[in-house]
Amino acid sequence: MSMRSHSAFRPLIALALLLALAGCARGITSTPGDAPNLEKWAADVRARPAPPLDPLPVMQQFETFEYAAQTLRDPFSDAWNNTDGGGLRPDPNRRKETLEQYPLDSLDMVGTIGRGPGLIALVMAPDKVTYRIRPGNYLGQSDGRVTAVGESGIELVELVPDGAGGWLERPASIALEDQ
Domain assignment present for residue 61? The answer is no
Answer whether 99's CB lies under 8 Å from 89's CB. Answer: no
Encoded amino acid at 39, one letter:
E
Domain that holds residue 157: 100-175
pLDDT for residue 82: 45
What are the φ/ψ torsions at residue 91 (nearest 5 degrees)?
-85, 110
pLDDT tens digits, 23-78: 665 555 555 567 788 989 999 999 999 888 899 899 888 888 887 887 787 777 65
Q: What is the CA radius of gyration of the chain?
A: 44
Is 147 within a domain?
yes
Give the pLDDT of residue 17. 82
Is 33 a domain residue? Answer: no
